Amino acid sequence: MLTTNPTTHDYRPPFMEWQTGQYERFARFSFILPYKFLLLCGMVEIPPQKILEDFMATLSGQSTGREEWKIAHKHLKAYFLANGYGQQYYTRKELYQIFTEMNDVKLLLPASNDEEQIRSHVIWRDEYEYHWFHQWYQKPRRLHNLQIVPEHTIEQFKCKVQHQPIAENSDLPSAGSTQP
């Protein structure tokens, strides 16, 4: 059962209008855990919430670092496909491409800890993910090609991105520069 009244202090309104109800980003879920899953969690002393959060982060490609996560990501993609999720809209090849693209965005995170670079990356990433989602959502294979985000929302997003200050670094060489 889903409760859509989030209590987190980090709550922000949905970025895309459809992110409500079942697709609420800051949702609280209340459901009965399978008893054997709960027993397993108790035996290994890992809370069920930790396992579920790791599952979601790994499946979506948000886990980074350890080789174990890369292996788990591979297995979770196979799990997702074995259960037939999304195959009414996409081929298996397209679903693998979706997973690859989701995973690749994190590779573009700046290596430095420069706050302005990271902020600029986050702004770019949000815009990219917005367009990436719509590219895949509007694929011709979709049985009911609904416009889930009104055009005015797209314009609001473009305006928001354009008005975000992006760090300008005059030390960077311009295009065509011969500086190393």
The yes-or-no verdict on residue 31 having pLDDT over 80 is yes
Residue 100 lies in a domain: no
Which tops the pLDDT comparison, 160 or 41?
41
What confidence tens digit (pLDDT) does each residue in 113-160 have? 888 888 888 888 888 888 888 889 888 655 554 445 545 555 555 555
The yes-or-no verdict on residue 8 having pLDDT over 60 is no
| Cα–Cα dist 60/69, whole Å | 11
Q: What does the pLDDT read at residue 98?
A: 92
Q: What does the pLDDT read at residue 141?
A: 58
Residue 18 lies in a domain: yes
Residue 125 lies in a domain: yes
Residue 94 lies in a domain: no
Q: What does the pLDDT read at residue 19?
A: 77
The yes-or-no verdict on residue 1 having pLDDT over 50 is no
What confidence tens digit (pLDDT) does each residue in 55-110 have? 998 898 887 667 888 899 899 999 999 999 999 889 999 999 999 888 887 777 77
pLDDT bracket for residue 2 (50, 70, 90):
very low
Q: Which residues pair with 110 in a beta bridge?
A: none
Query: Structural domain of residue 113, as residue ranges?
Result: 109-143+153-162
Q: What size, in residues, is the chain? A: 180
Domain count, the chain: 2
Which tops the pLDDT comparison, 89 or 24?
89
Q: What does the pLDDT read at residue 118?
A: 84
Minimum mean pLDDT range among 4-13, 45-54, 89-98, 161-170: 161-170
Q: What does the pLDDT read at residue 23?
A: 78
Q: What is the per-residue DSSP string for 56-108?
A: HHHHTT---S-HHHHHHHHHHHHHHHHTTTTTTTS-HHHHHHHHHHHHHGGGG
Residue 11 lies in a domain: yes
Residue 116 lies in a domain: yes
Sign of CA dihedral 57, 63, 69, 74: positive
Closest alpha carbon to 56 in 86, 40, 79, 22: 79
Closest alpha carbon to 89 in 18, 130, 139, 19: 139
Q: What does the pLDDT read at residue 163?
A: 52
Residue 27 lies in a domain: yes
Which tops the pLDDT comparison, 115 or 40?
40
Residue 59 lies in a domain: no
Q: What does the pLDDT read at residue 126?
A: 83
Give the C-alpha distances (Å, rounded to integers) separating 174 from 41, 132, 162, 171, 178.
55, 28, 21, 9, 9
